[in-house]
């Protein structure tokens, strides 16, 4: 059951004001515009995430970090509402089903697992819905504020770091100290660094003082591609052997890093498959059974030697590939939906699969070739752009949050 709690907690980080209604007169921890965060909201949030908090106990530092997290979430939710950003019921339902699938459960099984953790399903679903909302609004901010030029992409692709560090990954902890008076933050980060002699010291200092998004988890950023970190971090990590790095000064503040682990992988060739397919989908005049029967008839024609491309042009309802005889060109692993990819993997070169079903309808596919291919220049450019965006987005989102705070009414009450 601890495993279930761990799987659920990443989807339970939305403000607990969405999760439990107060049943008695409650203390107020903060007011953001017209929204109150109650003392019970903080306690409820801790009960949900306590397995992620090093030590698993609430104290003044943990309480303060939870309150800061909830204030940030409230500001972002208010911003999304002002812009009219909404999450449909269908999106929320699909997200819940995805969580259940990852846990190898159906919806009924998920409800049972939640009940065993003392979590009401309707509350849980609403929390997921708000998590999607925050992800969507952050994505919009990133798209609007980060513009990557063709020259930046070219410069990155030609850089030594892109060539040498493309597959390196690091597992980091992070402390961020922000202060309008840079001298104060610089002094504070040095004081913090002097107190760190091991990873547990770093965790304690992160929970107590960090303004980073992962402060409650002891600054744990998890595994990240090295070349997607801010360039200042990369330079510091390459400059000495650690495991403690910094202080590193950026426009966001003063940083310390703790390197938990590093993985270096050689450049790997990308496995690709060339295939064709014929797709028929159920519609208002043809149900699933009839659609499958129609495709079975086409399959029998293929088994008698008729040309796959010709039949694809005549019958396939995939408009993107039908005119090309069902040709899907070379595709990499993970490109297709799981059902299609599983059949494609199991089909030998030159063979035609039996009819099978995916979320798009009923398919027949033919595998025409397999190869190991270096990533194309186009894919490299896309990866380079994503890397450059990833480097900039933490700072951009931090600045955006500062803007929200500067225009909001925030009244933090005295803490117990």
Reported as a pLDDT band with limits 50, 70 and 90, residue 117 is: confident
- In the chain, domain spans: 2-145, 167-266, 270-373
Tokens of 317: 């309802």
403 Cβ contact list (under 8 Å, min separation 6): none
Q: What residues does 176 pair with on adjacent strands?
A: 255
User: How much is the pLDDT for 195?
Assistant: 94
Res 18 pLDDT > 60: no
Domains 167-266 and 270-373 share a fold: yes
Backbone angles phi, psi at 185, to 5 degrees: -65, -35
User: How much is the pLDDT for 10?
Assistant: 45
To the nearest 10°, report the CA torsion of 172, 175, 176, 177.
-160
Nearest to 398 by CA among 256, 253, 182: 253
Q: Alpha-carbon distance 32 to 38, whole Å?
A: 11
Res 98 pLDDT > 90: no
Place of tokens 């293929």: 302
pLDDT in tens, 283-342: 778 888 899 999 999 999 999 999 999 999 999 998 889 999 999 999 888 788 888 999
User: How much is the pLDDT for 1?
Assistant: 44
Q: Alpha-carbon distance 63 to 67, whole Å?
A: 6
pLDDT in tens, 251-289: 888 999 999 988 876 555 678 899 999 999 887 788 888
What CATH topology corresponds to 167-266? Chitinase A; domain 3 (3.10.50)
pTM, two decimals, is 0.56
User: How much is the pLDDT for 123?
Assistant: 76
399 neighbors 18 (Cβ within 8 angstroms): no
CATH class label, 2-145? mainly alpha
pLDDT, averaged across the chain: 84
Averaged pLDDT for residues 9-15:
41
Q: Alpha-carbon distance 213 to 66, whole Å?
A: 11
Q: Alpha-carbon distance 52 to 220, whole Å?
A: 10
Tokens of 174: 């992070």
Averaged pLDDT for residues 116-137:
83
Which H/E stretch holds residue 74?
helix 60-83
Assess if CATH 3.65.10.10 describes domain 270-373: no
Q: What residues does 37 pair with on adjacent strands?
A: 30
Averaged pLDDT for residues 234-245:
86
């Amino acid at each position: 059951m601890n495993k279930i709690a761990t799987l659920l907690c990443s989807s339970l980080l939305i403000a607990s004001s969405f999760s439990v209604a107060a049943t008695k007169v409650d203390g107020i921890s903060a007011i953001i515009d017209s929204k109150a965060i109650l003392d019970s909201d903080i306690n409820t949030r801790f009960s949900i995430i306590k397995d992620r908090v090093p030590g698993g106990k609430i104290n003044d530092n943990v309480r303060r970090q939870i309150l800061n997290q909830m204030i940030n979430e409230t500001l972002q939710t208010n911003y999304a509402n002002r812009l009219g950003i909404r999450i449909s019921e269908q999106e929320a339902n699909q997200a819940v089903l995805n969580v259940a699938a990852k846990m190898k459960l159906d919806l009924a099984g998920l409800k049972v697992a939640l009940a065993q953790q003392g979590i009401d399903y309707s509350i849980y679903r609403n929390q997921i819905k708000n998590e999607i909302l925050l992800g969507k609004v952050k994505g919009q901010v990133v798209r609007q504020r980060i513009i990557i030029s063709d020259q930046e992409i070219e410069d990155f692709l030609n850089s030594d770091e892109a060539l040498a560090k493309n597959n390196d990954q690091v597992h980091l902890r992070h402390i961020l100290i922000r202060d309008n008076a840079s001298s104060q933050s610089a002094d504070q980060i040095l004081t913090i660094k002097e107190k760190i002699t091991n990873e547990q010291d770093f965790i304690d200092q992160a929970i107590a003082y960090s303004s980073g998004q992962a402060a409650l988890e002891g600054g744990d950023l998890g595994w990240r591609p090295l070349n997607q970190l801010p360039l200042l971090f990369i330079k510091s990590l390459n400059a000495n052997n650690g495991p403690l790095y910094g202080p590193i000064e950026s426009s966001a503040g003063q940083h310390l890093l703790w390197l938990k682990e590093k993985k270096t992988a050689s450049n790997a060739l990308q496995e690709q498959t060339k295939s064709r397919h014929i797709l028929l989908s159920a519609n208002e005049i043809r149900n699933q059974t009839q659609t499958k029967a129609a495709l079975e008839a086409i399959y029998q024609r293929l088994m008698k030697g008729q040309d796959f491309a010709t039949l694809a042009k005549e019958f396939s309802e995939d408009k993107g590939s039908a005119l090309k005889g069902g040709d899907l060109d070379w595709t990499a692993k993970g490109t297709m939906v799981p059902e299609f990819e599983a059949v494609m993997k199991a089909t030998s070169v030159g063979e035609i699969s039996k009819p099978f079903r995916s979320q798009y309808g009923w398919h027949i596919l033919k595998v025409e070739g397999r190869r190991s291919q270096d990533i194309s220049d186009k894919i490299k450019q896309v990866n380079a752009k994503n890397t450059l965006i990833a480097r900039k987005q933490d700072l951009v989102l931090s600045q955006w949050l500062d803007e929200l705070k500067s225009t909001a009414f925030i009244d933090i009450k005295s803490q117990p």
